[in-house]
Every structure is written in structure tokens, then in C-alpha cells.
Amino acid sequence: MMINITFVFGTRPEFIKLAKVIEKLKNNRKFSITIISSGQQDDLLKAFKDSKLNSINLKIKKFNNTEMFISNFLVAFDMILKKKKVDYLFVQGDTSTVYASSLYGFLNKIPIIHLEAGLRTNDIHKPFPEEFYRQNVSKIASIHLAQTNSGKRNLIKEGIKSNKIFVVGNPGIDYLLDGYTTKISKKLESKNNILITMHRREAIDGSLRKFIYNLKVFLRTNPEYSVNWPVHSNPNILNQIKESFKSKPKEKLKINFLKPLDYFEFNKYLSKAEYLITDSGGVQEEGAYLGKKLLIARDVTEREDIIRLKLGMLIKADGSKLFDRIQYYKKNSIDLKNTNIWRNYQGRGKSSLKINNLLTKILC
Ligand code: UDP
């Protein structure tokens, strides 16, 4: 009998990191695949032509109310899963969808396969609520697929048995390399061009206004820099940005605000950028892969390898280290040796194949 693996996702990064894994496992005759999307970020996923994946969409909206989202999700998920044979639930990352579906799996004794396991800041409030989610999903999961060895070490420290942890790289990079229309080339880079993405709760709940203040001061004193900023669809981010730019509407700063971009458009802006300022996990990984000058707008990051390899630097969530770090990058270039180490860690586009082979070996 075929083994059923039910994938659950809801947000843009989950989709990007699962798409190639699902593609591989769908073509594997040992498995039957079910795909359930929660609806958590349907607005952002609309831009992805391939995002439907024949999934069952629960259409649960988040509306910035996580408690309601989780409870509504559990009810809808139960109605679907009751009617299905599910041998494994496969989740990726640290979102509300991942946490809620893992909790459901735990309560119903369905084993969980967790991709991107072992990322840690060890501060339960940063990022909030993701660090709490991922720590707890690790307690529940049966198979832990870590991106790098540092994730594996973190899990072992928490008492997870090493024979349940597998280092598989990052299938988000498989998606990047498959769809990267413009090829990875330094030639496309435009000097002094900055790309910004911001969406974390820490920013929304406090630091975004200070971040914008620091960015404005930087752009006033360094007018040769220009910014592209695809603004996340979260209305709290949108409103804070509008408020922060109300006071001097005529001021001519070179900031181009954009709607959330579809993946291929985003890649074009990514190719063009010399600097990347982001609080996103996926954008950090992609930026380091492409050798961009990466400024992480957070107080801490769980991507510890990126810091260790000097492929990115923290500028704090309020951007207070922006000046210093750009000065550093003006004098120091990124070591290509380290970029190559990171590319190896990420699996160079073969992570989904590795996961397919691994699951065939350990589950069948
Ligand atoms: N991304 C995109 N369009 C955008 C901004 C980001 O397609 O306008 C992609 C980006 O390439 C990366 C992913 O979205 O793969 C990151 O998602 P997000 O920042 O929402 O979540 P995180 O990675 O922080 O969980």
C-alpha cells in the first residue's frame, strides 16, 4: 500500500520551500500525496502561478488574530482529516499553520515530518511567535529535516535523538535556481541600490518607525543610494509606513515603494540590488546564496551560519547599526569562499531530491 504524506502549508515561504519537495514526491510511486493549504497568506500566494498545487484550501484568514486563526484552522483541518488516511503530516518552518497542524498531529497520533528543523535564537520572544512555534514543533515531530549541521546540533542539545535528524539543505534554493530567469550574475547588480523587505512582528510592534527614521537619515546624508521596497500586505506595516512619510511629503528621497512582488519580479529586484536589508528568513538565505551585501534588520537571527561565515550582519530591528554596517561593506567585500560554503550547505538546488531519496529509504 502506498504511504500517504499530507503536506500542509499556508504562507509564501512555506510554499516556496515545499513546492519542489511536493513535485518530487508526487512522482514517487511509493507515496500518495495530499496537499492542504490553510489560507493564511492567500493574498501573497495569488502572485505564484503554480501555488495551487491541486491543494484543498481551508480558506482560514488570519486578520492579525492568531488565536482565532489557530482555533478555526483546527476545526476545519479536523473535518478534512477525519475523512482521509494520513500516515504522515509534512510541515515546513515556524508559522501558525505549522504549529496548529503539528498540534493536531500530536493529539491524533499522526507522525510529523518537520522541514527546516532546528533553527533557534533561544529567545522565545524573538522572532515572535515563530521561535516558540519551532521549539514546540521539534518536541512533537518524529522526523527532523535540518537545513544545516548547526540546526542538527541545536536539536541534539534539546534531547532529540540524532538518528531522527537529517541534514538536507534548503529546497527553497531548488525553487530559486529553477525559476531564476536572469541567472546569478554580479553584472546585473546596480551600485548603491538597496532592496528592503520587512514583515516581522517585532517590526510591527515597535521598531518599524525607528527603522524608517534611521533609513531616512541615512538617505539624506547619502543621496547616492536608492531603495526599492516591496511592502508586505500586512496592513499594520502599510499604515506605519504611510504615517512615517506623512510629515514631509515633498522630501525627495529615492525610495520606491512597491506592492508585494511575484517571485520572478522579486528576483529581478534581488539581482539588481547591491545591498539587501531584510528581517525575512528566506530572503536572508537567498541573499547569502547570491553573494549580496546582507543587512539583517533584527536584534538576533536564527541563521547563525550566515553570521559565522560573514555573509550577513545584524543592524538591529530599529536599523540603528545601518550606518556602521554599510561603512564596513564599503571597505570589505564578501569572501566568495564563504559564499560557496553556504551554497554547499543549502544543497545547490538538490535538496528536494535528497529529501525524496531519504524518505523513500526511511519510510518505505
Ligand atoms: N518574496 C517574494 N516577493 C516579495 C518578497 C519576498 O516572492 O515581494 C519571496 C522571497 O524570495 C523569499 C520569500 O518570499 O523566498 C520570503 O518570504 P517572507 O519574507 O514572507 O517569509 P520568511 O522567509 O521570513 O518566513
Query: Which residue type is seen at 329?
Result: Y
Q: 161-196 b/e with 16+ CB inside 10 Å = b?
A: eeeebbbbbbbbbbbbbeebeeeeeeeebeeebbbb
**Mutational pocket test of ligand 1: of 280, 284, 285, 294, the residue with most ligand atoms within 8 Å of the beta carbon:** 280
The whole-angstrom separation of Cα 186 and Cα 190 is: 9
Sign for the pseudo-dihedral over CA of 108, 119, 271, 195:
positive
- Residue 124 is predicted with a pLDDT of 95
User: Under 8 Å CB-to-CB from 173, ≥6 apart: which residues?
Assistant: 285, 286, 289, 346, 347, 348, 349, 351
- Residue 51 is predicted with a pLDDT of 72
Annotated catalytic residue, options 114, 144, 199, 232: 199
Distance from Cα 186 to the centre of ligand 1, integer Å: 21
Bridge partners (DSSP) listed for residue 231: none
Provide block-wise average pLDDT over 10 residues at a time, the chain (364 residues). Answer: 96 96 96 96 84 86 87 97 96 98 98 98 95 98 98 98 98 88 68 96 89 96 96 89 81 91 90 96 96 96 97 97 96 96 97 98 97
CA-wise closest residue to 174 among 25, 332, 363: 25
Bridge partners (DSSP) listed for residue 228: 195, 256
Instruction: Count Cβ atoms below 10 Å from residue 336 Cβ, excluding itself.
Output: 9
Q: 33 φ, ψ to 5°?
A: -115, 135
Q: Please give the domain boundaries of the chain with CATH numbers for all domains.
A: 3-170+348-363 (3.40.50.2000), 193-345 (3.40.50.2000)
- Residue 266 is predicted with a pLDDT of 92
Q: 295 φ, ψ to 5°?
A: -120, 115
- Residue 245 is predicted with a pLDDT of 85
**Mutational pocket test of ligand 1: of 263, 264, 286, 302, the residue with most ligand atoms within 8 Å of the beta carbon:** 263
- Residue 46 is predicted with a pLDDT of 83
- Residue 184 is predicted with a pLDDT of 59
- Residue 185 is predicted with a pLDDT of 62
Check pocket membership of 10 for ligand 1, CB cut-off 6 A. no
Q: Is 199 a catalytic residue?
A: yes
Residue 90 has which C-alpha cell? 509534512
Check pocket membership of 282 for ligand 1, CB cut-off 6 A. yes
Q: Looking at ligand 1, which residue's alpha carbon is closest to its atom 24?
A: 280
- Residue 166 is predicted with a pLDDT of 99
Going by DSSP bridges, is the β-strand pair 31-37/3-9 parallel, antiparallel, or unpaired?
parallel
- Cβ atoms 156, 126 nearer than 8 A: no
**What are the tens digits of pLDDT across the range 78-88?**
999 999 999 99
Check pocket membership of 260 for ligand 1, CB cut-off 6 A. yes
> In whole angstroms, how far apart are CA 302 and each of 111, 154, 198, 288, 306?
25, 11, 16, 14, 9
The whole-angstrom separation of Cα 167 and Cα 144 is: 8
Check pocket membership of 9 for ligand 1, CB cut-off 6 A. no
CA angle 254, 207, 46 (to 5 degrees): 70
**Mutational pocket test of ligand 1: of 15, 266, 296, 306, the residue with most ligand atoms within 8 Å of the beta carbon:** 266
The length of the chain, given as a count of residues:
364
- Cβ atoms 101, 141 nearer than 8 A: no
- Residue 188 is predicted with a pLDDT of 83
> Is the overall model pTM greater than 0.85, yes or no?
yes
Check pocket membership of 169 for ligand 1, CB cut-off 6 A. no
- Cβ atoms 58, 79 nearer than 8 A: no
Check pocket membership of 312 for ligand 1, CB cut-off 6 A. no
Q: 177 φ, ψ to 5°?
A: -70, -30
Residue 176 has which C-alpha cell? 530559486
- Residue 249 is predicted with a pLDDT of 65
Q: 282-307 b/e with 16+ CB inside 10 Å = b?
A: bbbbbbbbbbbbbbbbbbbbbbbbbb
Cis peptide bond upstream of 223, omega within 30: no
CA-wise closest residue to 352 among 8, 59, 25: 25
